[in-house]
């Protein structure tokens, strides 16, 4: 990566991008924690649009497979897909992109472990190693998407 002298404006923009990137990571971690703190009934019935989406997914899965299907892994997948992508994006401001993507996967996977432990203490929720595996795979996919997009962007960006 070529280094160019930063103007005060570009330094301010970079600082703003870094701050917004980390705010997004913190917001996503908070959303994951909030979702994990909901007991089974609240998650199914009193979570607004999240409950509606979960009910729609469950109905669609039952129509397809002919029996009730637990769709919570779908929620885990999309939460951690976003979390892995947001982490990779935030970390890339502090280290090479490849290292940022790998560290994002490790951090998101570790957060997934704490998420599952948290659920032990929530009524009608449980610690499920399969959920952690889904979390880790989804975070890896999210981080790899960011890696691929930013790497492609950097390769096609005209040099000054």
Q: Tell whether 10 is covered by a domain.
A: no
Q: Tell whether 27 is covered by a domain.
A: no
Mean pLDDT of 109-133: 93
pLDDT at 104 over 80: yes
In the chain, the number of structural domains is 1
Is residue 43 very low, low, confident or very high in pLDDT (cuts 50, 70, 90)? low
Q: Is pLDDT larger for residue 144 or for residue 76?
A: 144
Cα-based angle 38, 144, 5 (whole degrees, multiple of 5): 110
**135 is in which domain, residue-wise?**
70-156
Q: Tell whether 25 is covered by a domain.
A: no
DSSP secondary structure code for residue 159 in this structure: P
Q: Give residue 8's pLDDT.
A: 66
Q: Tell whether 45 is covered by a domain.
A: no
Q: Is pLDDT larger for residue 67 or for residue 111?
A: 111
Q: Tell whether 79 is covered by a domain.
A: yes
> Which tokens in the block code for residue 66?
């002919």
CA dist., res. 123 & res. 152, Å (int): 45
Q: Give residue 75's pLDDT.
A: 84
Handedness of CA 93, 113, 135, 140 (dihedral sign): positive
CA dist., res. 107 & res. 12, Å (int): 28
Is residue 137 very low, low, confident or very high in pLDDT (cuts 50, 70, 90)? very high
Q: Tell whether 41 is covered by a domain.
A: no
Q: Is pLDDT larger for residue 81 or for residue 54?
A: 81
Q: Give residue 5's pLDDT.
A: 54
CA dist., res. 75 & res. 151, Å (int): 28
Q: Tell whether 113 is covered by a domain.
A: yes
Q: Tell whether 81 is covered by a domain.
A: yes
pLDDT at 1 over 50: no
């Amino acid at each position: 990566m070529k280094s160019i002298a930063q103007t005060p404006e570009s330094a301010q923009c970079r600082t703003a991008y870094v701050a917004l990137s980390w705010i997004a990571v913190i917001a996503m971690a908070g959303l994951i924690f909030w979702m994990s703190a909901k007991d089974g009934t609240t998650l199914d019935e009193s979570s607004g649009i999240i409950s509606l989406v979960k009910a729609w997914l469950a109905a669609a899965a039952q129509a397809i497979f002919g029996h009730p299907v637990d769709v919570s892994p779908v929620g885990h997948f999309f939460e951690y897909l976003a979390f892995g992508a947001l982490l990779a994006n935030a970390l890339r401001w502090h280290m090479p992109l490849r290292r940022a993507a790998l560290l994002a996967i490790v951090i998101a996977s570790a957060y997934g472990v704490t998420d599952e432990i948290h659920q032990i203490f929530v009524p009608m929720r449980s610690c499920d190693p399969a959920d952690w595996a889904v979390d880790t795979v989804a975070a890896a996919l999210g981080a790899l998407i960011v890696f691929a997009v930013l790497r492609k962007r950097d390769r096609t960006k005209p040099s000054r």
